Amino acid sequence: MARTRTDIRRARIRLGAAAAGIALLAGCGSGGEAQTSGDTAALSGEIIWADFGGPTNEARQEIYFAPFTENTGVEVVSVVVNDAMQEAMMSGGQGDYDATHVGLDLVYANKDNVTQIPAEYQDQALPEDIRAYAFGTFYVGHAQGYLSDTFPNGGPKTWADFWDVQTYPGKRAWPGTPGSYDSSCEIALLADGVAPENLYPLDFDRCSAKLDELRPNMVFYMSYPEIQQLLVSGTAAVAMGPSGQFSALRNAGQDVTVSWDQAVVAPNVIAIPKQAPNAENILALTEYFHDPERQAEFAARTNYGPGNPEAYEHIPADVQDNLANAPSHTAVVYQDSKARAEATEELLNWYTSWLAG
């Protein structure tokens, strides 16, 4: 059921104390004194921000929202994305959200229903034909990772290696829910020898055939945190998944190796539906999200790659090593979000069917 305005007001009350505490911390972050170039004195009210919660939202609260509220008086109210409301608003309908966290392919599919971002706050890492329609970009890598002592003499690097259970024995952790197809087809095609420039349009029959080869050695996870459990328990020797899960293991004290060779990199973005109730406020917030020092701090906190290339001027080399779109990661493969947008329904139907066997 979609959240009502009453639900959101209740959320604001619950978040009020936390927001106050975060505001105290914000002055310690980089760029804490940044001022907006627009007439922020005229702003008032609130922003209803929809994302997936958790540590990513916590980082946004401290790095972006708190200083914005301090400088403008506009309160940012965070709610967890409701799929029905997000779909309605991205399709041009009414709803409560001023901003919503989506994949870039969804933006391509709904450009006519999305508010454009001012040119000076557009993320230059995005393709030119879409950068006016999204902001707050960060890059996720669908990579393979393993505990380093699992392969003391060196483990798999490419996706062909991932499939090679003779040379690199052990089970492979793999996404097991229909909506978590992630980069599964691209990865299967890369493992089958397809060159990155020839991945699209996706050949679903070839993807299925290659995945069938590995299915006997797969262990399916139903949620991303299970990746960590499967590796630590030894149930899986290697896992395919979002690079943030491997960073979480490293932060927990585990020695983890991540291969960026052929890791499939994809942007996550924020879109402003044209029906956003507080359009002026959310457009003002885009300036904070574009700031390179704030993006650098967000990258250090989350291990997601920044959308503004200038952020790398403020990111230490050891932090860059863990970011999907780091300049040093020259062997990664970028998803074609536009091509995937044209095949969204096919992708879901294909993976649902393949999982069912």
Cα–Cα nearest to 238, from 222, 258, 253: 258
pLDDT for 41 equals 61
Q: Which residues pair with 242 in a beta bridge?
A: 142
Whole-number Å distance between alpha carbons of 351 and 347 = 6
Q: Which amino acid is at 198?
A: N
Whether omega before 127 lies within 30 degrees of 0, making that bond cis, reads no
Question: Which domains are assigned to the chain?
Answer: 5-139+267-320 (3.40.190.10), 141-266+326-356 (3.40.190.10)
pLDDT for 55 equals 84
**CA angle at 345 for the pair 340 and 348, rounded to the nearest 5°:** 90
Give 108-144 pLDDT, tens digit per residue: 999 999 999 999 999 998 999 999 999 999 999 999 9
- pLDDT < 50 stretches in the chain: 1-37
pLDDT for 213 equals 98
Contact 344, 325 (CB under 8 A): no
